[in-house]
Every structure is written in C-alpha cells, then in structure tokens.
Amino acid sequence: MSIVSSLPLLAQDEPTEITADEVNNVARHLWCPLCGGRLRLDSCELKACSQMREVIALKLAEGEDPESIRAYFLEQYGPQVLGEPPRQGLNWLAWILPVVAVAGGAVFLWLRLREMSRPPVAAPARATDAGLDERERRLEEELARYD
C-alpha cells in the first residue's frame, strides 16, 4: 500500500488527508519521463513514478494547486513530462502540420471525386481516321492471303 493512499499529511495549520484519487487527478496530466512519453504518471508502475506521485501528494497537502504542481514537474523534467510539445518556436509545426495534412488530403479527395463524377467527354473525330481505314483494309488483304 502506498504512502499516498491513506496517510494523513500535515498542511501548515491543520491536517489534511490526500486521497489517491486527488493525486491521480494531477498525475493523469503528467507523463512518465522515464518511459519516453508512453505512459501517464497515474498508470506507470516504476518506483520513480511512485515517488513522483508521493511528491504530488505532499504538494497537494501543502495547499498547492494542480497547475503549480505541473509547473514544478515541467521545471524538473522538461516538456516531455507534459506529454505534448510546447506551443512555441518550431514546435508549433507539431500542432499545425497534422491539421494542414488533413485539410490538404480532404481537398485532394474532393477534387478527385469531383473529377470522377463528371461524365466522360467524347473524343473529337480525328483526321487520321481515313489512314486507319486504309491500314485495316491492307491488313485484311494480307490475312486473306494466308487463309
């Protein structure tokens, strides 16, 4: 059983009991810095993540709000702990490019479907049709010789 689940922690003036749900509500918005951003802090089984959840419990007991706790972990572990690239500098491309790609794909599909739904245009008669008739006649004469 974890220290977080049932240990009453002391705030400055009065004892406050922090529940695992309160800790997990904050941990749900943080990602394990050791797992490469694949697991959220509330579901990671590593000892380091357990210790991070204990830090969250201590900070909640001290009266800190969840946003300041996230800021603390951002300062300690860098932007990967937030599970998303920061919205500044070249990292904006990670936010913008998927939207541009989806919009571009939608425009491409719309144009292709519109082109495919148009009735086919009949090809104009060409002046070389007379030449083709002559070739067909000669071909039939040649084939008649072999019969």
Q: What is the pLDDT of residues 100-125, one digit of tens each?
A: 999 999 999 999 999 888 887 776 65
The answer to whether the CB of 37 falls within 8 A of the CB of 49 is no
Token readout for 142 is 């040649």
For the chain, the structural domain boundaries read 3-82, 87-119
Structure confidence by residue, pLDDT tens digits, 34-79: 877 678 888 888 888 888 899 999 999 988 889 999 889 888 888 7
CA atoms of 59 and 36, how far apart (whole Å)? 25
* pLDDT band at 10; cut points 50, 70, 90: very low
Spatial contact of 15 and 8, defined as CB atoms under 8 Å apart: yes
Q: In CATH, which of 2.160.20.10, 3.40.710.10, 3.40.50.1240, 1.10.8.640 is domain 3-82? A: 1.10.8.640
pLDDT at 130: 63
Q: What is the pTM of this model?
A: 0.51
Other CB atoms closer than 10 Å to residue 127's CB: what's the count?
7
